[in-house]
Chains A and B, each alone.
Chain A
Amino acid sequence: ELKVEQNPLFLSMQEGKNYTIYCNYSTTSDRLYWYRQDPGKSLESLFVLLSNGAVKQEGRLMASLDTKARLSTLHITAAVHDLSATYFCAVGAGTYKYIFGTGTRLKVLA
C-alpha cells in the first residue's frame, strides 16, 4: 500500500529566504504532482512530474522527482508573502489513483 509522507508539516520562514519541502513515498511510482491550497479554497495544480529526473519551475517554485529514491522536492527561492499556503504532493498509485501527502503549511513572514 502506497504511503506518502511530507516534511515539514509546518514551515514558517522569512521573506527572501530559501527552503525545500520534501515528499517521500513508499512504493514505486512514476507520477507525482504538486498542489497548492489557500485557506478555505480548492486545490490548484502546480506541477506534474512524470519521469525520473524531471524538473519543473514556475516563478519562485521548482519541483523535482527522483523515482529511484522515491523522493520529490519543492524548492522555494526568495520566498514572498504570496507563497503562504498549504502545499500537497500526490503520488500516482496504480493506473488511476492519486494518494496525497498530509500537506505542508507554509507561512512566509514579512
Chain B
Amino acid sequence: NAGVTQTPKFRVLKTGQSMTLLCAQDMNHEYMYWYRQDPGMGLRLIHYSVGEGTTAKGEVPDGYNVSRLKKQNFLLGLESAAPSQTSVYFCASGPWITEAFFGQGTRLTVV
C-alpha cells in the first residue's frame, strides 16, 4: 500500500531554475495539500485542492503554482527558484474531515 508518494525525495537547484514536485496518492482522496516545513515555523500551507481540476491558495502561495489534472496527482511547480524556497516540502491527502495522510517529504535546496 503506497499511500502518498512524493517525487523526488531530494533536489538541489540553482537560483532561477524551475522544477516540478509530484505527489501521487492511491487512496482516492478528494483533498490534497502542499506544505513547506522550515525550522521553528511548523508546517505552512502553500496550496491545496478540493478535487480534480480545482486549486486554491494557502498561507504562503507566492512563487509556487499547482495543478490537479488527475484526482490522484497534485503537482507543485517552482517557476524561478529562490534561496528562500529552500525547505522540506510535504504533500498530504485526505478524504473528508478526518486526518490528512502525509508523504515522505522532498528536501529542496536552492543555491
Query: Which residues of A are interface residues toward B (Cβ below 8 A)?
Result: 4, 9, 31, 33, 35, 41-45, 48, 50, 88, 90, 92, 95-103
The minimal Cβ–Cβ distance linking A3 to chain B, given in whole angstroms, is: 11
Query: Do B45 and A42 touch across chains, with their CB atoms under 8 A apart?
Result: no
| B43-60 residues at the A interface, CB under 8 angstroms | 43-45, 48, 50, 56, 58-59
Give the number of A-B contacts (CB < 8 Å). Answer: 53
* Chain A min CB distance to B4 (Å): 8
Which one of B44, B48, B99 contacts A96 once the chains associate, using CB atoms below 8 Å? B48
1/0 per residue, CB under 8 A from A, across B25-51: the answer is 000000101010000111111001010
Of B16-24, B63-71, B74-82, B102-110, the one touching chain A? B102-110
B97 within 8 A of A: yes
Proximity bits, B85-111, A CB within 8 Å = 1, else 0 = 000001010000111111111000000
B interface residues with partner A (beta carbon < 8 Å) = 31, 33, 35, 40-45, 48, 50, 56, 58-59, 90, 92, 97-105
A33 to B64, CA, bound (A): 26
CB–CB B43/A100 < 8 A: yes
Contact A100 B42, CB 8 Å, known A42-B90, A42-B105: yes
Bound: A50/B92 CA distance, A: 19
Q: Is the interface of A mostly helix, strand, loop or mixed?
A: strand
CA distance A35 to B102 in the complex (A): 10
Contacts of A90 in B (CB 8 A): 43, 100
Is A88 a contact partner of B58 (Cβ separation < 8 A)?
Answer: no
CB atoms of A102 and B42 under 8 A apart: yes
Whether the Cβ atoms of A97 and B58 lie closer than 8 Å is: yes
CB of A98 within 8 A of CB of B45, answer: yes
Contact B90 A88 (CB under 8 A): no
Q: Is the CB of B42 within 8 A of A31?
A: no
Query: Chain A residues with Cβ under 8 A from B100's Cβ?
Result: 33, 45, 90, 98
For B99, list chain A residues within 8 Å (CB).
33, 35, 45, 48
Q: Is the CB of B33 within 8 A of A102?
A: no
Taking CB atoms, residues of chain A closer than 8 Å to B43 are 43, 88, 90, 100
